[in-house]
Structure 1
Amino acid sequence: MNGNGVNREGFLAARDTIEALKGTLECLEVNLSQERDANEGLNLTIEALRKENENLQEKAFQLEAEIVSLKQEAKDSGDRKKDDSVPPSEIRAELEKKLGFYYKDLKNVDEKNLTAEDSETLYHILTYTFKTLKKAGLKF
């Protein structure tokens, strides 16, 4: 009977341990669920901030392009009257000056690993380039 009593006590102790572990597991599952919810909220916040950052970068890019364009227009109107007899070398030099900055941006893009931001940058570079070429007199 002594052996049975030890076995019974061992089983009771094991049962109590199992119950305690079940309680611990349930508590850990609740904590994990709360942490996942918190992470999901943080991920949504991060995504919203990324989108806002992209929008602000786009606006900054557009404003920068507009400033460059306005400065060049002011310089052009002050330097000379616009007429069709501008020598090609002057036109080329003017285009190099206007587009050189954007060419450097273009060269910084990794063509093998394009991101959405890179695509947006390329779009703005092309838009500004064609706008500048139209102002220089090219017809499309």
Structure 2
Amino acid sequence: MSEKDLQKEGLLTACKTIQALKGTVECLQINLSQERDNNEGLNLTIESLRNENNELQEKVFQLEAELQAAKDEEKEEKTATPSSEVVEELEKKLGFYCKDLKKLDEKNLTAEDSETLYNILAYTFKTLKKAGLKL
């Protein structure tokens, strides 16, 4: 073979190689485009999930706040209304003093009556404080 034939054959081989590489590049570009589309879809899914997560967290915070408010309200009700046992105990302890108080004539109080009245009030407040009333 002559040098020209070798050059021609070399050029034909180079041309075929270039064509093969062009096909490979086109295939890689298509694959790259598909991967970019897939990534874009995944990014949209991620964004959607983040938004949903934020909404759910907001709902959780609202529910926790409502639950805490309900607990606080329940606690307030428990402390605001004494149990029947406490009421009965207070009636037993204070009933006698209430009778003594009713016996006093508020228009004609003596020094002794004033002392009795003071003792009744002191005992009443002490008993209420022991029962849990905050004074």
**TM-score normalized with structure 1 length:** 0.58
Of 92, 105, 114 in structure 2, the residue corresponding to residue 78 of structure 1 is 92
Runs (5+) with no aligned partner, structure 1: 99-131, 135-140
- Deviation per CA, 1:14-48, whole angstroms, max 9, x where unpaired? 10011001110111111111111111111111011
Give 3-state SS (helix, strand or coil) of 1:80's partner.
helix
Once the 2 structures are TM-superposed, how far is the Cα of residue 3 of structure 1 from its aligned partner?
1.3
Question: Larger relative CO (CA 8 A, sep 6+): 1 or 2?
Answer: 1
Once the 2 structures are TM-superposed, how far is the Cα of residue 85 of structure 1 from its aligned partner?
6.4
Q: Percent identity?
A: 8
> What residue in structure 2 maps to residue 59 of structure 1?
73
In terms of Rg, which structure is larger?
2
Runs (5+) with no aligned partner, structure 2: 1-14, 98-119
Q: What are the within-5 Å matches in structure 2 for residues 3-22 of structure 1?
A: 3-22=17-36
What RMSD in Å do the two structures reach over aligned CA positions?
Answer: 2.9
Evaluate the alpha carbon distance shift between residue 32 and residue 53 of structure 1 in structure 2; reply closer, same or farther with a 3 A threshold: same
Structure 1: how far apart are the matches of 2:36 and 2:94? 86
Structure 2: how far apart are the matches of 1:38 and 1:71? 51
One-letter amino acid of the structure 1 residue matched with residue 80 of structure 2? E
